[in-house]
Amino acid sequence: MEFLIEYGLFLAKIVTVILALMVLIGFIFANREQLKERVQGHISVTRLNDRYEQFKETLLEAVMEKHEFAHLKKQLAKEKKAEEKALLKKHKAAAKRKGSKAASSEVGAKVLQKSAPEAEPEKQAGSNGERKRIFVTQFNGDIKASGLSHLREEITAILQVAEAGDEVLLCLESPGGMVANYGLAASQLARVRSAGIQLTIAVDKVAASGGYMMACVADKILAAPFAMVGSIGVLAQLPNFNRLLKRHDVDYELFTAGEYKRTVTMFGENTEEGREKFQSDLEEIHVLFQHFISEYRPNLDVAKVATGEVWFGQKALSMGLVDELKTSDEYLTECAREVELFQVEYKEKKNIAKKMGLAAEAGIESALTRLFSRLTAWRHHAQ
């Protein structure tokens, strides 16, 4: 038994050393690459309609008889060909109408504009007569809103081709974080609305604090029934080690120019005046947060929901924080029958150093997660 314990401790030491080396190597290579010119990424586009059709075809092939599936496949191919032919005919007719309008005189155009009522656009058609297009992108937020660098590139790419009648769907997951970062992320989404493109945001898990700051920009917010929404508030916390330093005869000196350059610190002795100013700053940010939400959701009683609380989907719907209970998967599969779906993703090329660093990070995170799960299970078993 003693041998097994010693062997286990030996293995634990070996694993610790290997993990430490992996982290060190990844850190060194990552920092080396930061000195080099950043490799430019690229936009990747996937047609989701093809993906859904492939899923459907694979399942049908598995559940149907061979001859039945062959017959169905031919029938579907004919229908697709007929649909493409009809769409091509529609494009030609639209182009012909556009040419005839361009040839008409300016006076005649003005007369027609005054006399003829505005035509209602087709429900599932873009401004060019084609099927409506939905551009799908994702944002998985952390405290620093690190996905912002990719989001801004994706929005820029989409706005190069999107037209009136198209739509942008953002699948958003974020518990919030730094005010300035999430404010900029929300501003990136505002570009879509400013361009006259419909913006829909789907929340499957969480859109809290800065996450909801982004979500409120949308024309329509979808939320899963158990998605967590809200947390309209501001949070700041920090430890203070001043008494500990004094106990060990360590002096901490802070030099500033400007009365409120530093209101509270981790190592200095905080004053009541500094605390009041810091709290005042938080209140000001909270007011700005509420005004921002009111601008995009004027019918929402912001004072009622700006308490820092989080609500699940059903309650969030009744309070006006979201517009519909629906998952992103449900929304996309419904739309796939009538519109063109394109997933847009900005991808950066990862060199070997970055891959090693990410692998080390993922390995440590996975090990810690497993350890925490086992400790939790052991605790429940002990009770």
How far apart, in whole angstroms, are the C-alpha atoms of residue 364 and residue 346? 26
CA angle 295, 284, 207 (to 5 degrees): 55
How far apart, in whole angstroms, are the C-alpha atoms of residue 284 and residue 260? 15
Strands, DSSP E only, in the chain? 42-47, 133-140, 167-174, 198-208, 220-223, 228-230, 310-312, 324-325, 340-347
- Helix, strand and coil in the chain, % to nearest 5: 55, 15, 30
Per-residue pLDDT for the chain (383 aa), expressed as one digit of tens each? 666 666 667 677 777 778 777 777 766 666 555 544 455 789 999 999 889 888 888 888 888 888 887 888 788 778 777 776 776 776 676 666 656 655 544 444 443 344 444 433 444 555 555 678 999 999 999 999 999 999 999 999 999 999 999 999 999 999 999 999 999 999 999 999 999 999 999 999 999 999 999 999 999 999 999 999 999 999 999 999 999 999 999 988 888 899 888 899 999 999 999 999 999 999 999 999 999 999 999 999 999 999 999 999 999 999 999 999 999 999 999 998 889 999 999 998 766 655 565 566 666 666 666 665 665 556 555 55
Nearest to 236 by CA among 177, 305, 173, 310: 177
Known catalytic residues? 209, 261
Paired with 312 in beta bridges are: 228
First to last CA, the chain: 26
Task: Flag whether the pTM goes above 0.85.
Answer: no
